Structure 1
């Protein structure tokens, strides 16, 4: 065999034969739920770059072969039960969050305007002190909190589960 035949072309990829969808995208089978795309076990069509650079390397999807489709059908009930358990856990966490009320101290002027702002980072830190761990992207703010007062903040736990958290922004104790 010639040496050029042994060399691997830089454009060769392990997924060069991806199934083509109806609109020219790539057909994949979702292994996990992907927000704004689909649920576990669904057949989706995405752009090639999204498939190659995110979904396949992260293990969120697999190539939609007949074998994978049969495996999903075979285990669909088990997957549904696992998803129901996850939803139950998220709903329990949402109930726990809705019972909480957190207080965040911030520097403010006499009119109640903050010198800075309160964002998702401060809310996540305050919840962590109460034993609830969240990621910053789960806190859905309309914008940074820039005044003293009581705010209701949405906490996004799952595509089907959200919780409302009461956040008090108060002046620092020295004022």
Structure 2
């Protein structure tokens, strides 16, 4: 019997997969537990529409991430921090501060966990950062740390 999985089932497959199972397994386990529906022509058409919608949404997310990546690569993110006379900072500049600066400068919300710096920035200057935007898109930008006035 052909069924469409409505949730992930470990030995069979992931949600949305069309699988062929024995009638007893389908009638006694998958259908009563609402883990699958019978693969009727209407259900197949609905599955196809859901897959097309998922592809469109993913393509839109990739396009948005690429737009943000081009914006990020063209700018230098400015972060102001308290510094001593020799250019050393009182503390460090963290990825949270970089995320806040991005919110202020570009009005783009990026999770601080997606911003990768080698170490915490401890001196004035310009430092490279990588920002992971999802879908294997990585933007390389620079953070310029300036003295707080």
For normalisation by structure 2, the TM-score amounts to 0.65
Aligned residues: 121
Residue in structure 1 matching 2:69, options 94, 100, 106? 94
In our comparison, the structure showing a higher alpha carbon Rg is 2
1:137 aligns with 2:137: no
1:166 deviates by 1.6
Instruction: Report Cα offsets for 1:71-108 as digits up to 9, x if no partner.
Output: 69623333222211110111011111222212212222
The structure-2 alpha-carbon separation of the partners of 1:121 and 1:28, relative to structure 1 and needing over 3 Å to count, comes to farther
Runs of 5+ unmatched residues, structure 2: 1-7, 18-32
Partner residue in 1 for 2:95: 120
Q: How does 1:21-100 map to 2 (within 5 A)?
A: 21=11, 29=14, 65-67=35-37, 74=48, 75-100=50-75
Q: Which has the higher contact order (CA 8 A, sep 6+)?
A: 2
Runs of 5+ unmatched residues, structure 1: 1-17, 22-26, 31-40, 43-62
Higher mean alpha-carbon deviation, 127-136 vs 148-157, is at 127-136
Asked if the contact 2:82–2:90 (Cα under 8 Å) also holds between the matched residues in 1, the reply is yes
Structure having the higher helix fraction is: 2
Q: What RMSD over aligned residues (CA atoms) do the two structures have, in Å?
A: 3.1
